[in-house]
Structure 1
């Protein structure tokens, strides 16, 4: 069922319920007023005839004659008086109103009772005189009241059906008008393909739900377009990085097979090929690490209790072993008295990889091979700062240094693949942290990692 149909049905149902309740209330009020008024008139006639016959002892023939002369006679009016034995002793008509004894007994117990019997309205009262107890019944047909109520019921029924039909038609029109922006959004989204990801939805000037939905979809399209751009760049760069060593391997092997050569030449070729294979293996390993950092698996991966000071010393030792020229200084600042404040929750292997990459890069691009790791412990967050005194990163390169395979012009001659910083950023994001960089001429290059003690799962 479409939203338009659901909205139409719900709107029509709501209005119908309100309308039915209103009509039922009006009809009920009219019925109560007409019935109460008619019973009140019957009650006065019962009292009048009871007074004349039982208290004033007027002759029955005279009472009947007076009854015929009165102008306020009701349709099919009849007054009947019963004695204590439920035997009729007086009636304004020749035909006595045959009332079941149970009805008369009910009146005797309650002094007064109004009820319907067959097509008549009946009002009965109990009259007590010295000669005994009597029951006086006044009955009549409420012709005009019943006709009015039937006419009112038919009018309300026809009016209800007419209004419900109008409301259903109007509700369908209004639902279609309200959903028109949604249909327009659907059409615009259906026209967006990978080749037209630059297109965006129109956002109206009103700050309503549809405008906010369009803005949210546009932000989603921005992220999708950025993902496609990164994917295309990733594939292009990977192809380039894989093509170079494969081409070199192929060329060296082809040259070696052209002519018979000395064993030393073959050994040199094999060493060169092994070096290219090692580069391929290192690149593949880094790509696997990059692909395995998935935020969807954060709840499973972030379960280790990590001592920050210990992992810092481990990173210092590993980086120093890579190159004798590298020198890593550690500044743990003011350590908290509670050793639990030195601990965060995360993935030990991934954090070690991230800090190792940052520290190795700092040493690699430093003028003297030195890097500083400074740690600041706070109540909810741990800040790790890695800095060196190398050349400043150009401002034009700063927005792109965390993209896979991006290599700045000043680092083009440095051995590497441009994957390390992208991997660091993904690891920090996995831990719900933040990675920032600050670099300017005449100042140290500073990479700052902000890690919460308890990473919050992604929504």
Structure 2
């Protein structure tokens, strides 16, 4: 889930919780206010009923006129008057069937309220001329309940509309919030090992986004320094070691041409020359490995036709190893020749493919090696299949590590640098390289390159 979507959902969830609490609070307080107002109106009628009904007199007549003139009759309004008799238990006889707790509260607290659905009851205890009376007034409040139902509908509509507006506002808010991050991602995607000198545009703001950009730039500076240091060390070391190595090889060759040396010394000189040549190959591979890494600028790519490149690699491998048998399979080539082109450096790609093909020839004792080429709308695939010694399963993931050699390659010469160099070159061309192998059956190396 994208960050923008997460922010939007979080914004909507928080707003929804807030709206639910707000609407619930509004409904609760309005209903409480309505109930409280209605109960006060009932209690006023309880007092009037006590004045009018219990001990009628002239003042009672005045109360009756006031009630008739100024107080509206409530819906289903009913009065109940009960005289208490202390000689019996309970001291009252229920005039209306209500819970005992309601009557007990009247006796203990002189006043009580009770509601059941839309029926409201208010009761009070009165003492008039030495006698105690319980007066209860009951009524319904259809208008109040109707108002609450209308309020519920209004709040529901407001809630739905608010959620929609919140979602729209959250989407806009998250879009502009994540926009700087989106810009950073877009710029970071353009930075690779080929252009580590590039930096993100620093923001004037001192917020977390500005701090993130600064952190990225500092990280890129450290990476650039590390790559440059590694590249310079390997390049300089390779160059510096070549001079004394050339002198050793030259002097050894001169020594071998001298007829005065003994046979024993000649054997030693030949060993020195062979090891010097091995060291020369190692230095050349190390230099190539360094050159395929960071060079501080974009490589100068050109369009390369891969089928022609494969033919050149096969011919080159046959010149180096004259006993090799290489079969090229172009049966799966597409009809559209444009799908056979990729962008890259021809020399580097030829070096990478040559390493794979020469390894296949070497480790299969010159049994047939097949190079199969295929392509689709997006990728060009090169498969190099041999029938050689294979690679143990637990060692297949290590073959791209510099100087690593499989445990079953002891009888073959090698330095463990060819495949790491090949992998670097393929990665440099935005491709992939994979391997599948079985001991004593053979190995398949697959290289995938993007179509130009």
Structure-2-length-normalised TM-score? 0.52
Secondary structure of 2:75 counterpart: coil
**Distance of 2:62 and 2:129 partners within structure 1:** 23
Indicate yes or no: 2:40 matched with 1:40: yes
Matched residue, 1:86: 92
Other-structure match for 1:10: 10
Taking the aligned partners of 2:117 and 2:205, their CA distance within structure 1 comes to 66
Residues 8 and 167 of structure 2 are in contact (CA less than 8 Å); yes or no, is this contact kept in structure 1? yes
| Cα deviation code 1:292-341 (max 9, x no counterpart) | xxxxxxxxxxxxxxxxxxxxxxxxxxxxxxxxxxxxxxxxxxxxxxxxxx
Question: Shift of residue 43 of structure 1?
Answer: 0.4
Q: Tell me the alpha carbon deviations over residues 216-257 of structure 1, each in whole angstroms, 9 at most, x when there is no partner.
A: 212221221222222111111111233233322222222222
Residue of structure 2 in register with 1:108 after alignment: 107
Q: For 1:226 and 1:30, locate their aligned partners in 2 and report how far apart those are by CA, in whole Å.
A: 69
Answering whether residue 246 of structure 2 is matched by residue 247 of structure 1, we say yes
Cα deviation code 1:127-149 (max 9, x no counterpart) = 12345322111111112221112
State how 1:62-73 maps to structure 2 within 5 Å. Answer: 72-73=72-73
Using the TM superposition, give the Cα deviation of residue 57 of structure 1 relative to its aligned residue in structure 2, in angstroms: 6.4
Aligned residue-pair number = 268
Q: Report if the CA contact (8 A) 1:86-1:101 is conserved.
A: no
Q: Distance in 2 between matches of 1:189 and 1:65?
A: 88
Deviation at 1:170, TM superposition (A): 1.4
Q: 1:128·1:134 contact (CA, 8 Å) conserved in 2? A: yes
Deviation by residue 1:92-147 (Cα, 9 ceiling, x = unmatched): xxxx6433444322322221012203421111111123453221111111122211
**Structure 2 residue 260 is the aligned partner of structure 1 residue 261:** yes
2 CA distance for matches of 1:118 and 1:213? Answer: 61
Residue matched to 1:56: 56
2:137 corresponds in structure 1 to 138
2:165 matched residue in structure 1: 166
For residues 51 and 20 of structure 1, do their structure 2 counterparts lie closer, same or farther at Cα, with a shift above 3 Å needed? same
* d(CA) in 1 for partners of 2:117, 2:217: 74
Q: Would you say the 8 A contact 1:201–1:214 is kept in 2?
A: yes
Retained in 2: the 8 A contact 1:78–1:97?
Answer: no
How far did residue 9 of structure 1 move?
Answer: 2.2
**1:216 matched residue in structure 2:** 215
Q: What 5-or-longer segments of structure 2 have no aligned partner? A: 85-90, 280-452
In structure 2, C-alpha distance between the alignment counterparts of 1:215 and 1:62, rounded to whole Å: 87
Partner of 1:27: 27
Q: Aligned in 2, Cα 1:190/1:61: closer, same or farther, shift over 3 Å?
A: same
Mapped to 1, the partners of 2:210 and 2:116 lie a distance apart of 66
CA contact under 8 A between 2:31 and 2:148: conserved in structure 1? yes
Cα distance change on mapping 1:101 and 1:194 into 2, 3 Å: closer
SS in 1 for 2:79: strand
Match of 2:121 in 1: 122
For 1:141 and 1:246, locate their aligned partners in 2 and report how far apart those are by CA, in whole Å. Answer: 111
* Whole-Å separation in 2 of the counterparts to 1:138 and 1:43: 8
CA distance in 2, matches of 1:262, 1:139: 134
Unmatched 5+ stretches in structure 1: 89-95, 281-459
Paired residues of 2:16 and 2:163 also in contact (CA < 8 A): yes
Q: Kindly report which structure 2 residues correspond to 1:170-181, keeping only aligned pairs within 5 A, or say none.
A: 170-181=169-180
Mapped partners of 2:179, 2:28: distance in 1: 42
- SS of the aligned residue for 2:92 comes to coil
Write out per-residue CA displacement over residues 36-91 of structure 1, whole angstroms, 9 at most, x where no aligned residue.
11111110110111122223369x99999997787511111111112224336xxx
Preserved contact between residue 123 and residue 134 of structure 2 (Cα < 8 Å): yes
CA contact (8 A) 2:83 2:132 kept: yes
